[in-house]
Structures are given as structure tokens and as C-alpha cells.
Structure 1
Amino acid sequence: MAARPFIGISTYAEAGVAWGVWRLDAALLPAGYPLLVQRAGGLAVMLPPDAPERAADTVARLDGLVVSGGPDVEPVHYGAVPDPRTGPPDRARDAWELALIGAALERGIPLLGICRGMQLLNVALGGTLVQHVEGHTGVPGTFGRHPVKPVPGTLYAAAVPEQTDVPAYHHQAVDRLGRNLIPSAYAEDGTIEAVELTTGPWTLGVQWHPEMAEDLRVVRALIASAAA
């Protein structure tokens, strides 16, 4: 039996997390992310935040990379003035995950960006973001659902050829596309819901949260590419 590929997943640094009698700083990841990778056939490796100069060494030990969801990307990375509705920056996380994305692209390993991860992929390649999209974030702490339509002939359409409802929670979106990125799915209102790289390794970003869904096809495509 072929070895299961190692898939790294970026994590959150959070201060003062409580469990049991303890309240300590922690590197966290919602359980849906590693479970998604495991259910799709990979071995999940959680990547705590680290110095950006260590990203290449980290990626060298992986077969694939997932950049997880989270807070807004600081607008300075795409030359914009912060909108009043943009959340506070996490500069250490921005720097680490941008370095991970750069190292993954340079090494040629498959990469999946989820929500913030898709937005950060676009920014890493010179694109920009819409800092606030009305109607894409519902009740705080609750994932809404909406239909996403694939673009025929894309990597995403090869994995999920039909329109499907997806779980989503975001208020930012891709504006100007980064270098060599194309849209591979849209929401009904025209928001870009998936992007992919036209050159180099298998690279896909999705605006929604597949870790909150039963559909494993996107991550199975990542695993298949990583295994190859």
C-alpha cells in the first residue's frame, strides 16, 4: 500500500488559552482541519507559527500544504489603506504563512488555501483583496451555506464538476487576481469563490470551509497530487 502523504496545516497562535487548571499560550487548530486531511487519505501535520526563514526547511519535509482560515490579512501586504471594518492584524501569522506559501510554490508541492488561505495566496502572488463584502458573513460563529458554480476546464471543476452548496463565513474576497491565478468558481453574486494556479504545482484556493462539510473531493484532489 502506498504511503499516505504528509500534509502540513498552518495553525493559530493564541494567548491565554484555558484547559483544565491551565491558562497558557497555545498553537491551536480547529479539529475539522486535521480530520479533513485524515478522512481524505493523508497524514495531518500541524505547523505552529515559526520564523519565516524556517519555512523552506519546514516545507521540505512535507508532501502538501494547507493554509487554514483565520483573521483578515493586513492590507499593507497589498498596498491598501485599512478599511474600518477590517479586523486587527496578526503580523506574525501573516509573515509565517506568506513564507510557507512562497516555499511551497518554490519547491513545487501541492497547496490548498482555505478562506484566509485563499486570500493570502492571492496576496502572495501580487493580488489584492476586497476588504468587506456584504452578506457573506451571517450570525457570528455560525457557518452559512450558499451555492458555488465551477468554471469548466479548471482544477476545481475536475474535482467538483457540478454546482454545490458550501459552508462559508467570511467578509473579504479576492479583488485583483495575483500572477498566474485564474478564477475556478464563483458565487451567484459574482464573488470569486475559488482560484488556482495555471503554472507550477497543483495549487488551489477556496473561499469556503471544506473542513465544515462532508464533501471530501477538493482535499482528495490535493492528497492525490501530493501522493503523486
Structure 2
Amino acid sequence: MPKPLIGITTYLEASTRYRVWELATALAPSGYHEAVQACGGTAVLLPPDEPEAAAELLPRLDGLIVTGGPDVDPARYGAPLDPRTGILAPERDRWELAVIEAALAHRGLPLLGVCRGMQLLNVARGGTLVQHMDGHAAGPGEMSDHRVLPVAGTRYGTVAPEPADVPTYHHQAVDRLGEGLVVSAWAEDGTVEAVELPGEQWVLGVQWHPEQGKDLRLFQALVTAARTPVQVP
């Protein structure tokens, strides 16, 4: 049986240095593809495309990871720009929202959103974000650990039933929950740390960065779900 094919959305960088070259680049931290491969999947990177391409792409995949990255444009959820919101990435917003919406419409496709990916999942379902908060990033470019508390009976609570210290780096978070989503983990300060869409389709978002840690259970659950897709009419 072929390994499940897991698509991973990419970061867009205007300038990246490769030895003597400095070029615009679409890339993703290696922790994502390494985790997928370690769990028995085949990873493929998905650079931004026209939104219409998402509906054609998604049926070719067995699973999807929407990765972390820059802040979501608050105009996407009807809010004015807070001066503490960082540099925006409109190309990623357009593409990844289209990919998420296509994944949800496809219904059988497992979806994992990581940090920004979870926030975009919430926005795609009509939710909003807190544009700035303190205490969830140690400093520029430096991960910190904090404890998350799973909600019993949820998909995440089944994958990881015990409280855990997770690698985190963010200053934005879920505010109003998107339609149909439920909270499946909290931080000790009350921040929403995981959301999911109840039902047969495996849809889960986490606010932290599992690709930066050693606990592969989320990736293993995604790959397992990709091996046994939901049968939809």
C-alpha cells in the first residue's frame, strides 16, 4: 500500500540566502516533513497558488498540514489593524484559506493546523483572533515551553490525554470561536490551545509547534487518519 501523501503549506520569504545566491523562496521548517516521514507518510510541499487551484489539488492528497508563520490579516475577520500585529502575508492568507475551505468541503481529508494554521482554521469558520497577547513567546526567534490541558472526550484529548509541556511561539490566539469548532485544549492562563471540528473528518488545530518537539503523536494521528479516509457520499 502506498504511503499516504501529506501536503504541507509553505512559508513565503522575499529574500533567502543560499551560499552565493539570494532569492525569493517558498519553504517550510524541516521538522514538518521529518515528522510526517517518521510517522510513515510521504511529505510534499505546497507553495502558494491561485485560490481556484485548491479544489483541484486537495483530492490528490491524503492529508494536509497548514503550517505556522506570520500574522493573519485582521481584515479577514473584520477587525482593524492593531499596531502590534506583525508584517502580513496576503498571498499566504488567500492560498491557505482556500486550501482549508477546499479541505473542509472535501470532507474526508484529514487536516492539521499548526499555530497560524489553527488561527486560519478559526477564521475560515467565521471566528476572530486576539491580535496581541504576552507570555507565549520567550523572545524573537526563541521557543518557550508551557503547559496545555487537554479536554477529555475530544479528538486531541484522545491523542494526548495528559497535561503536557509544549513548544510555543506566538502572540496571537483564538478570540471568538469559529462556527462548529470546539476547544480541545487550554493553556493554564485560559488561552485556547487546540480546536477541532467534531464529526468523522479528522480536523484539528493546535496553537503550539509540535514540529519543534519530540512528541509525534499528533503527526502519527494525522498519518493514521490519512491511511483510512472517511467514506463520504
Q: TM-score, normalised by structure 2?
A: 0.95
Give how far 1:54 is off. Answer: 0.3
Find the aligned partners of 1:135 and 1:147 in 2 and give their Cα distance. 12
Any idea what SS the aligned residue of 2:132 has? coil
Higher mean displacement: 16-25 or 158-167: 16-25
Any idea what SS the aligned residue of 1:71 has? coil
Specify every segment of 5 or more residues in structure 2 that has no aligned partner in the other structure, as ranges: 229-233
Match of 1:164 in 2: 164
Specify every segment of 5 or more residues in structure 1 that has no aligned partner in the other structure, as ranges: none
What is the aligned length? Answer: 227
Letter in 2 for 1:173: A
Any idea what SS the aligned residue of 1:94 has? helix
Higher mean displacement: 110-119 or 16-25: 16-25
State how 1:1-228 maps to structure 2 within 5 Å.
Answer: 2-108=1-107, 109-199=109-199, 201-228=201-228
Instruction: Using the aligned pairs only, state the percent identity.
Output: 59
Deviation string, structure 1 residues 59-81 (Cα, Å, up to 9, x no partner): 11100000000000000011001
Aligned CA-pair RMSD = 0.9
Contact persistence 1:166–1:208 (CA under 8 A): yes
Contact persistence 1:180–1:199 (CA under 8 A): no
Find the aligned partners of 1:5 and 1:186 in 2 and give their Cα distance. 30
Give how far 1:130 is off. Answer: 0.6
Contact persistence 1:105–1:200 (CA under 8 A): no
Give how far 1:199 is off. Answer: 3.3
Give how far 1:200 is off. Answer: 5.0
- Give 4+ residue runs of structure 1 displaced > 6 Å after superposition: none
Give how far 1:28 is off. Answer: 1.0
Any idea what SS the aligned residue of 2:61 has? coil
Higher mean displacement: 123-132 or 21-30: 21-30
Letter in 2 for 1:43: T
